[in-house]
Amino acid sequence: MTPAVLVLENGQVFTGRAFGAVGETLGEAVFCTAMTGYQETLTDPSYHRQIVVATAPQIGNTGWNDEDGESTGSAGSQGVDGDSGKIWVAGYAVRNPTRRVSNWRATTSLEDELVRQGIVGISGIDTRTAVRVLRDHGSMRAGVFSGAALADTDELLARVRNQPSMKGADLAGEVTTDTGYLVEPAAETRFRVAAIDLGIKTNTPRMFAERGVAVQVLPSTATFEQIRDLGVDGVFLSNGPGDPATADTAVALTREVLGADLPLFGICFGNQILGRALGRGTYKMTFGHRGINIPVIDHATGKVSITAQNHGFALEGEAGEEFDTDFGRARVSHVCANDGTVEGVELASGRAFSVQYHPEAAAGPHDAAYLFDTFVTLLEGDRARGARA
């Protein structure tokens, strides 16, 4: 029952109880509309330096297990005991944490894991009001304070406002793998892909492996020479945190990949990187898209997919827009049905494509899993043309 407060940059204060570790944490306050999958959310490296406010009123029912963490292999994960994965969120704000864990896979409770990893959180606040503030006024700098970190409001507000903004934050290098690693299929290896880890989730290489694709995960600082020396069949750009406007190294690498005509597939942050490599700009959204229930329209088919998303930045562009690039004609392939945000770009040649959402579905719906098959089909076409040549 330790008192705690959530302080927003605009001066609003929400009073509740400590949930997880006691102390102080600073970050950008954002909200996530997912009703399930909190373990995958908390361990997603894309949430680095963000305080997540859960819209679902009750959190923690299924406890915490050693299987669903999404940060295995990311920077710092080796220092986490067990296989549950490093928690990357800066803090967690919930309404009603469950008092009893009820799942046969659970090895501990959510709160115990938050304490173990030193994640400062708050419970018992009116999350509906907090989310309404963030929706109406935008994501903003915030802090959670409890125990000895508590002070008068003016001092806490000064701490919140003195932290850096997410705009201009270069964070991929803080979450990427230290040395790289290989994920191989259980059966025959059909293709090999280099995945640039900008904050990759564990399930993504697993999805490739299920399709016979061996994935060599490389740090965000990987060079084109390293990729070329691996002799891979294609390149994958992962999700990740921070402002894409700062990711000049990844953009330059992507342009080299496109210039070499290697097949390329990107998701989330990788979509923004591909877009920048094609000459598009990016901008910070008011409150972003975070959840597992966001509808996206594929303009080629008119089909709507319900998708998992986690991004606070987006590409400039309009639905169905076509434009010239240094690598041929390109187009905006997907948009969000809710607000028209660009959700995908592609080269008209089909050699490179990306989406703003998470087709690996960890957690989330499986509507977009076909995109992995689309990339494998592209790799198959490449190999067939090489054989004919």
**Catalytic residue numbers?**
268, 358, 360
What distance in Å separates the CA atoms of residue 223 and residue 384, rounded to the nearest whole number?
27
End-to-end CA, the chain: 71
Question: Tokens 């904050």 sit at which residue?
Answer: 199
The DSSP line for 336-389 is ETTT--EEEEEETTSSEEEESS-TT-TTS-STTTHHHHHHHHHHHHHHHHHHH-
Q: Give Cβ neighbours of residue 345 (< 8 Å, ≥ 6 apart).
A: 271, 274, 275, 278, 280, 315, 317, 330, 331, 332, 333, 353, 354
The DSSP line for 72-90 is TTSTTGGGSSSSS----BS
Q: Do residues 238 and 267 touch, judged by C-beta distance below 8 A?
A: yes
Determine the residue type at 323.
Answer: F
Binding site: what residues are annotated? 46, 240, 242, 269, 272, 310, 312-313
Three-state DSSP class for residue 258: helix
